[in-house]
Structure 1
Amino acid sequence: MKKENIIYIGIAVVVGLLAGYLIFGGNTETTTSDEHDHSAEIASGEMWTCSMHPQIMQPEPGSCPICGMDLIPADNGGEGLAVNQIKMTENAMVLAGVETVMVGSGVSGGDSVKISGKVAINQESDAVQSAYFDGRIESISINFEGEEVRKGQKLATIYAPALVSAQQELLTAGKLKESQPQLYKAVRNKLKLWKLSDAQIDQIESSGQVLENFPVYANVSGVVSEIMVEEGDYIKTGSPLVKVANLNSVWAIFDAYENQLSLFKEGQTLDVSTNSYPNETFTAKVSFVAPLLNKQTRTLEVRVELDNKNGMLKPGMFVQAEVEVANKRDGEALTIPESAVLWTGMRSLVYVQPNQNSSTFEMREVELGNLMNGSYVVNSGLQSGEMIVAKGTFTVDAAAQLQGKKSMMNQKGTAMQKGHEGHSEMGNGMKMEFSQEVASKFGDLLKVYLDLKDALVASNQDQTQKLAKNGAEIASEIKSLQMDDMGKSHITQLASQLKEIASKSDLEGQREAFVLLSQNMIQIGQQMKGLDAKLYVQHCPMANNDKGANWLSMEEEIRNPYYGDAMLTCGSVVGTID
């Protein structure tokens, strides 16, 4: 029995060893191979990213923590790239809606320059009604500024002791005019010096009554622009009573920038338009070009005179004008779309595609001329035939920031700081300066924008229209304030984009226009100092026909304005503005 047991045990051990070899021995090489491959992967530094959220970077494959999609190998094509170059995947370019255009082709470089200004009272026809004698204002017959008056209309009544005495002298001299005609004539002339008409003097003489409260009549017809006295005021000879403006002719005053100085001269014809009458064009001639340049804003005043007999143009109304530009360059001027330019205050930047067959882009500083019909004239920095990013420029620059490359806000090309949960903090390398007045007004516009965003989240198209109209008015007010060419260009775009949203009654159209509005608000917000609160730059990869779109929010929590309840939390925070 013992020998049999030993034999059985021996057989069992042999069988067990054989089975173990067959089961585990064959996989030993595979396991070793897997471990080797994984180590090699880590050693190679290969990273994995999300095609929808390129800010996600992980050292191993898995799922995107934002959208759950499978991660894909990140492009390691950055080797050999200059610090001002960035390489994007084809998929990322499609999602970002990146479009390129050739410099000098595909863009019509127009032959006119647009400038903005305001309607003002023509001071040459602005009359001041003054007092011709000392006295006290007993009553005022005009009620408010803006009231129309006609020549000969009573404006006020004045108690004038000297005039009472002069009237008494007239009545006495009238009784002696047969015997002392010279005295009678002298008294009448004295009253005429106080601007009393012959009819008024005759009326006093025929009635035999002295007027204690003497009426003052308007010398001209027009609109009361300012009431300068109140009842009970004591006045002296020559004291102004009211200002009356004749609005049959008005001025339009424009601020032209230093680089536009050569475009204007007296007698030049301009086509003036206003948002109030989009289908009307007013022809005017330049009547005055200021001889002195404003040292702070680097602008000079250009004034034109407009016929306004129909009363369409109101003082304070915003207007635009176009001036024809003669191309003084040899050959065709190089032009690029306005959307291709990134502004940093002191610099103008574009992204050039050195090789059309490669998705590599290079940031380049350029010097720009006048803005003509949506395109800038290029003075230096680009050559004809070069390819530049015309759409999606901001997204390309954002990708450069995420990769630690040189960008509009990161001139040194160092990696950006990381905030909590890996969200990138926007840099503050912007150099553009806004006045306190502009910053304050932009704060009002920002509040309207955030309310507009919430209205889109709630899918409320009526409220969106109302807020966009309000925002357009504020943007137009900001546009009239003093700022440099770059700032005015972006604020002008804001006003235009808000008007476009206000003109659309369908939610889809409003959300489509909101894409560019948000992009512009982000660019200006990054340059504006003194914002009241921290802003989050948020991104939805599905919006804008799967091209992706950004927006600003005061809350870190995602509330998607492009889809509302349908995809309320779709998106992520891609940056912040402090």
Structure 2
Amino acid sequence: MKKENIIYIGIAVVVGLLIGYLIFGGSSNATNETEHDHSAEIASGEMWTCSMHPQIMQPEPGSCPICGMDLIPADSAEEGLMANQIKMSENAMVLAGVETVQVGAAAGGEESIKLSGKVTVNQKSDAVQSAYFDGRIENIFVNFEGEEVKKGQKLATIYAPSLVSAQQELLTAANLRQSQPQLYKAVRNKLKLWKLTDAQIDQIESSGKVQENFPIYANVGGVVSEIMVEEGDYIKTGSPLVKVANLNSVWAIFDAYENQLSLFNEGQMLNVTTTSYPNETFSAQVSFVAPTLNKDTRTLEVRAELDNKKGLLKPGMFVQAEVEVSNAQDESLTIPESAVLWTGKRSLVYVQPDANNSIFEMREVQLGNLRNGSYVVNSGLKSGDLVVAKGTFTVDAAAQLQGKKSMMNQEGEEMQMGHEGHSSMGGTMKMEFSQEVQDEFADLLEVYLDLKDALVTSNREQTQTLAKKGAGMASEIIDMQMDDMGKTHMSKLAEQLTDMASKEDLDGQRDGFVLLSQNMIQIGQQMQSLNTKLYVQHCPMANNDKGANWLSLEEEIRNPYYGDAMLTCGSVVGTID
């Protein structure tokens, strides 16, 4: 029995030692492994940051000391990139529709350059009907501008005291015609100087009565372009009454760039087209090339004369001219028009140095003429370079958000809006808009602000409706007077609104609102007559934690990217006055 007890005790001791080893030895190993993993994590250099406060950097996960949010891994993908380079994820490139093309040489031979212009009245055939005597306008028989009149048609009647006296003299002289023929002849000549015809003078003689209200007849036929008097007006000799334009021949006025000057000569034939008649081509002959350059737009006026006997071309209509040019002397590099970002004096493109790596590099280029939708590259690129042809604005917007060099930021500093429409960024962007464009943009801005409010309330149906309305308004503005960079931005605005209108889900609409807002801010900064103060607001968590801006009339934050989920997330980063 004692031997059995000893065996039991021995077995218990062995089992106890084994259990103790498994518990304490395993814990020690686990602790060592944990410590090893933690040390490896720190040694790897991984840092953690706050999406709302990117200045927070910690070597381990935890909570943000400012807002209490969970820290996220800091993106180290930007390490080693130059100030003019940006890295985009493959997913971001797909969502933004970024596409590249290879820079190539244009084939020699005949090519064409397109110019935009507007139909105007041919001033050579423009006539002003003037008064030949003093008097008062009794009646006007021309009712509205645009009314067609024929030569000899009655335009108005005038009460002229001097003409009444002259008619009395005529009747008196007619009775003395036999005894004083010279007097009679002098009175008739006096009336002829007032543009009365022999038939009118003979009618006065034969009737023996004085006409108090004398008719004015059109000297030329055409279309009334301006009525310059009203009934009851007192006029003097030489006062303009009606302006009549003969539209059988019209002018097309084009703006050619300085580097296109050598392409145009008087007598040169152009092929002119218009969107009103897409299947018709009109022949025009260059009749005038301006001797001076517009110092503001750096363009030259080229005037061409068109035959318009069919009356198809109306003054104010937009037209395009195509000029054939020879490119046989050498092969030149070309890039698509959509690849170019204009910043006033600079022309920028984004190049992908390595086709297997989604790194893009901003590069300044010198461009030549625009031919068939492509610019000739004078310097800055070489054959074989990959250039972003679609999604260029998206790449540039990503560069701005990351504080990289961009079309508006030459120095690569964090984007900050200034006051009164100015920017504290290193670069400047200047667009030229006519007053008409600025007035229409003010209406479009109201739609944009309503669109922002619809996103705040997460109303996707209203967002879609407003985006469609805004797209139509932006498309109409494109045809108005502005410089090339303004037209490029406004065209992109129309595309962005159209894209938003096609989205039926809030996430897609909010993704489109990121670039739309960026473009609205850039255009809004250039407007000189916005009768309101706008707040530029920023949410650091929007756009997949890259941050995004928007415009608001109120200083109080109402976040369109998250709505009720994070209604007050964001801050004011600038104003546009």
What whole-Å deviation, never above 9, does each CA across 1:471-495 have from its counterpart, x for those lacking one? 3223322xx14x3x43344445656
What whole-Å deviation, never above 9, does each CA across 1:482-538 have from its counterpart, x for those lacking one? x3x43344445656x49x959x99878xx9999999857734632534564235689
Task: Verify the 8 A CA contact 1:270 1:321 in the aligned structure 2.
Answer: yes
Counterpart position of 2:353: 354
Task: Verify the 8 A CA contact 2:156 2:215 in the aligned structure 1.
Answer: yes
Task: Verify the 8 A CA contact 1:133 1:237 in the aligned structure 2.
Answer: yes
CA distance in 2, matches of 1:459, 1:109: 52
1:195 offset after TM fit, Å?
Answer: 0.7
Question: After superposition, where does 1:308-323 map in structure 2 within 5 Å?
Answer: 308-323=308-323
Counterpart position of 1:236: 236
Task: Verify the 8 A CA contact 1:351 1:364 in the aligned structure 2.
Answer: yes
Counterpart position of 2:344: 345
Counterpart position of 1:526: 522
Gaps of 5+ in 1: 1-10, 64-69, 419-425, 543-547
CA distance in 2, matches of 1:442, 1:108: 42
Counterpart code for 2:311: G
CA distance in 1, matches of 2:195, 2:335: 65
Question: After superposition, where does 1:234-383 map in structure 2 within 5 Å?
Answer: 234-327=234-327, 330-331=330-331, 333-383=332-382
1:17 offset after TM fit, Å?
Answer: 8.0
Alpha-carbon spacing, 1:382–1:341, altered in 2? closer, same or farther (3 Å) = same
CA distance in 1, matches of 2:284, 2:513: 33
1:130 offset after TM fit, Å?
Answer: 0.9
Q: Secondary structure at the match of 1:138?
A: strand
Counterpart position of 1:67: none
Report the more deviating stretch, 486-495 or 344-353.
486-495
Counterpart position of 1:163: 163
Counterpart position of 1:447: 446
1:412 offset after TM fit, Å?
Answer: 2.5
Alpha-carbon spacing, 1:395–1:33, altered in 2? closer, same or farther (3 Å) = farther
Counterpart position of 1:457: 460
Counterpart code for 1:526: Q
Counterpart code for 2:181: P
1:432 paired residue among 429, 441, 448? 429
CA distance in 1, matches of 2:56, 2:200: 90
CA distance in 2, matches of 1:452, 1:284: 45
Q: Secondary structure at the match of 2:321?
A: strand
What whole-Å deviation, never above 9, does each CA across 1:216-243 have from its counterpart, x for those lacking one? 1111112222222233333222221111
Report the more deviating stretch, 189-198 or 533-542.
533-542
CA distance in 2, matches of 1:144, 1:183: 43
1:162 offset after TM fit, Å?
Answer: 1.9
Counterpart code for 1:434: M
CA distance in 1, matches of 2:501, 2:341: 31
Task: Verify the 8 A CA contact 2:413 2:425 in the aligned structure 1.
Answer: no
What whole-Å deviation, never above 9, does each CA across 1:429-488 have from its counterpart, x for those lacking one? 4512235735554333333455578599316877765543333223322xx14x3x4334
Alpha-carbon spacing, 1:22–1:394, altered in 2? closer, same or farther (3 Å) = same
1:558 paired residue among 550, 557, 560? 560
Q: Secondary structure at the match of 1:296?
A: coil
CA distance in 2, matches of 1:448, 1:48: 40
Report the more deviating stretch, 136-145 or 11-20.
11-20
Q: Does residue 1:470 correspond to 2:473, yes or no? A: yes
Paired-residue identity, %: 67
CA distance in 2, matches of 1:165, 1:321: 57
Question: After superposition, where does 1:485-504 map in structure 2 within 5 Å?
Answer: 485-491=484-490, 497=495, 501=498
Report the more deviating stretch, 355-364 or 186-195.
355-364
Task: Verify the 8 A CA contact 1:448 1:471 in the aligned structure 2.
Answer: no
1:361 offset after TM fit, Å?
Answer: 2.7
CA distance in 1, matches of 2:446, 2:572: 19
Q: Secondary structure at the match of 1:325?
A: strand
CA distance in 1, matches of 2:519, 2:171: 79
Report the more deviating stretch, 18-27 or 123-132.
18-27
1:400 offset after TM fit, Å?
Answer: 3.6
Counterpart position of 2:3: none
CA distance in 2, matches of 1:518, 1:137: 61
Alpha-carbon spacing, 1:137–1:94, altered in 2? closer, same or farther (3 Å) = closer
CA distance in 2, matches of 1:534, 1:226: 44
Counterpart position of 1:201: 201
CA distance in 1, matches of 2:122, 2:80: 64
Alpha-carbon spacing, 1:390–1:513, altered in 2? closer, same or farther (3 Å) = farther
What whole-Å deviation, never above 9, does each CA across 1:263-300 have from its counterpart, x for those lacking one? 22222222223333333332212111111111122222
What whole-Å deviation, never above 9, does each CA across 1:50-88 have from its counterpart, x for those lacking one? 9xxx9999966799xxxxxx9997764545443333344
Counterpart code for 1:457: R
1:214 offset after TM fit, Å?
Answer: 1.1
Gaps of 5+ in 2: 1-10, 64-69, 418-422
What whole-Å deviation, never above 9, does each CA across 1:1-30 have from its counterpart, x for those lacking one? xxxxxxxxxx99998887454223312222
Alpha-carbon spacing, 1:307–1:441, altered in 2? closer, same or farther (3 Å) = same
1:373 offset after TM fit, Å?
Answer: 3.0
Alpha-carbon spacing, 1:60–1:319, altered in 2? closer, same or farther (3 Å) = farther
Task: Verify the 8 A CA contact 1:494 1:521 in the aligned structure 2.
Answer: no
Question: After superposition, where does 1:172-183 map in structure 2 within 5 Å?
Answer: 172-183=172-183
Counterpart code for 1:431: T
Alpha-carbon spacing, 1:324–1:362, altered in 2? closer, same or farther (3 Å) = same
Q: Does residue 1:413 correspond to 2:412, yes or no? A: yes
Alpha-carbon spacing, 1:276–1:49, altered in 2? closer, same or farther (3 Å) = farther
* TM-score (structure 1 length as normaliser): 0.77
Counterpart code for 2:167: Q
Task: Verify the 8 A CA contact 2:274 2:318 in the aligned structure 1.
Answer: yes
Task: Verify the 8 A CA contact 2:109 2:327 in the aligned structure 1.
Answer: no
Alpha-carbon spacing, 1:167–1:520, altered in 2? closer, same or farther (3 Å) = same
